[in-house]
A and B are shown apart, each in its own frame.
Chain A
Amino acid sequence: MNARLLPYVLILPVTVFLCIFFLYPFVLVAQQAFGSDTGWSLDNFRDVVSHWKFSISLWNTLLLAAVVVPVQLALSLLMATMVSKMKRGRDLVLYVWTIPLGISDLAAGIIWLAIFEQSGFLNSMMHGLGFIDAPMNFISYQNMTMVFIAIALAEIWRATAIMLVILVAGIGLIPKEYYEAAEVFGASPWKRFLKITLPLLRPSLQTALVLRVILAFEVFAVVAALGGTLFPVLMGETYSYQFDLSNSGAAAAIALIILAISIASTLVILRALRVPKGATI
């Protein structure tokens, strides 16, 4: 076979698969979003954006991402650094830490609901220890901060590990000699983390952050389980337009808005963490 053609032939199956199962539905969604009785229009977007719930869900989604992602970034960096320093038992620790990854997001939401409910673990524990007299209602519209904290906690618990595994792999790729050189030239452990680990981890940080941020904008099941309608998010709105209101044009419009936000944030992350030419390991 012609060597110039071969690579294209090899990627053909994947390309076809993606076209059928990704590009085609995407075109359909776009058609729905931009279509109306009178041909092409932005009516769907106008309707969706002007609805009173839109700005709340947008704000909630962004706020949740803004709180959860940095915490997860810090946590996963800390955990990855610790794991990489371990000589023995590191695989075991990694397995344990990544268990939440194997749990569906709805199940994760339900687990945390079981903790925070009025008859949940947290209440029984605090009651048992005598901190409170009667079970408290943590998750209610009167206590929005607590709702937010519960959702954020569940998200952090559920999805930190995905960043962790990427960062552990990335740290493993940094040659030991750079740390030794830094040590000889006077860098403290903290300085080594700042001056060696972080910059050399940029490619992994990019991947981890892009993945995580996109997932954060798509947050749905955990919120649904814990907050229900108390805490509207964009993905939840998509769901309710599609299935409660049977307005698939509006649902498609919100889906596209989420996509736009995801693409924009991806570009920002890639740009912020780009590695200059010639500066790779």
Chain B
Amino acid sequence: MAEIQIKNVAKTFGAYQALHDINLTIADQEFMVLLGASGCGKTTLLRIIAGLETATTGEVWIGGRRVDHLAPKDRGIAMVFQNYAVFPHLTVFENIGFGLRMAKMPNAEVTRRVERVASLMHIEQLLKRYSGELSGGQRQRVAVARALAMEPDVILMDEPLSNLDALLRLEMRAELKGVLAESKTTAIYVTHDQVEAMSLADRISVMHQGKIVQAASPIEVYRNPAAHFVASFIGNPPMNFLRAEPAGSGKWKVAGETVDGPVSAATPLQLAIRPEDMRLADDGLKARVKLVEPLGAHLLVTCDVDGTMIRAVLDSDLTVKVGDVLTLAPQPDRVRWFDPQSTLAVA
């Protein structure tokens, strides 16, 4: 059992507040992905959980035990560092076996485990090399293997696949997910790659400027972003936003058209819709085509709707030219609303 609880954790570096009041519970055996832009505090949070950094305030609990005061080695964790930290003076074998040797594991067991994780990470032919003789991606896999070899309760991974080519990353991703599920490990996985986040996560925590903006399942984060930041950060091409003026009793004026919307609000809102949730229709927003990008499976069209640029993903066998005026209808059940003041979603 290794549930992780982060309670009111904040961290300041001098005058700079890197983390604001973080509250997060990661269930036993859950695969949690921390997703956010560069500099938002992902590594800092991970280092606090690992015990390499002390939180300015707040508590960290692992497996029902408060661990703030414990040394990293007593927390039952293993970690993959963002900069790998593969020991240069040890061979790949000894790197992977480092933690096992520290735990005084018998030689045969060390060899067995090292060979197993090395083959998982496809680095079994590199075991005798030193880190200076490895590529960045190989080093990264050594770092992952070193953490896996520990068979820890909790594994913390800081962008562990960032340096691999697309194909290998896809493969490693699947391997990693399989191995961790099988070993019943609780995982926290940091990335800024949203595709990776979507494909791996049981839950995604989206971080922004030192706060967790939303923690939910990938589909929930995608379909029901809790804040403007989440909506704009997740999804490629990103979500479209259009200004909406209140027109009384649940009616909203968007680019000259009247749309059904929230009843509760009376100030201007933003209507948000994903590019793939727009349809060509007889009735809808008038959109002048500015750019047409055929993407094979789809047609990505950028158009001007009443002065705002939006994107729509359309059927690839449509013939659309720059300058055409399309009538685009947002799929009603996919429309979301945001308050530009609070930036939060409005129901």
Q: Interface of A with B (CB < 8 Å)?
A: 175, 177-178, 180-187, 191, 195-196, 199-200, 202, 275-281
Contact = CB atoms under 8 A, between A and B. Distances in A.
A185 B79 CA distance: 8
7 contacts: A180-B52, A181-B87, A183-B52, A185-B98, A185-B99, A187-B102, A196-B87
A30 B197 CA distance: 73
B87 A184 contact: no
Interface stretch (B108-116, B127-135, B316-324): B127-135
A200 B87 CA distance: 9
Interface of B: 50-52, 71-73, 77-79, 81, 83, 85, 87-90, 98-99, 102-103, 129-133, 146, 150
A276 B129 CA distance: 10
A185 B99 CA distance: 5
Nearest to B83: A177
A257 B234 CA distance: 75
Contacts of B88: 178, 200, 279-281
Nearest to B129: A278
Nearest to B102: A186
Contacts of A187: 73, 98, 102
A184 B72 contact: yes
Contacts of A200: 88-89
Contacts of B72: 180, 183-184
A11 to B, nearest CB: 28
Contacts of A183: 52, 71-73
A185 B150 contact: yes
Given A182-B98, A183-B71, A278-B130, A199 B78 contact: no
Q: Give the secondary structure class of A's interface.
A: helix
Contacts of B146: 185
Interface hub of B72, B81, B103 (most chain A Cβ within 10 A) = B72
Contact of B73 (A178, A185, A195, A199): A185
A199 B78 CA distance: 23
A177 B81 contact: yes
B129 A184 contact: no
Nearest to A177: B85
Contacts of B50: 184
A221 B127 CA distance: 53
A275 B88 CA distance: 10
B329 to A, nearest CB: 53
A181 B85 contact: yes
Question: Which of A178, A181, A186 has the most chain B CB within a 10 Å cutoff?
Answer: A181
A229 to B, nearest CB: 48
Contact of B133 (A184, A196, A278): A278
B132 A278 contact: yes
A221 B102 CA distance: 48
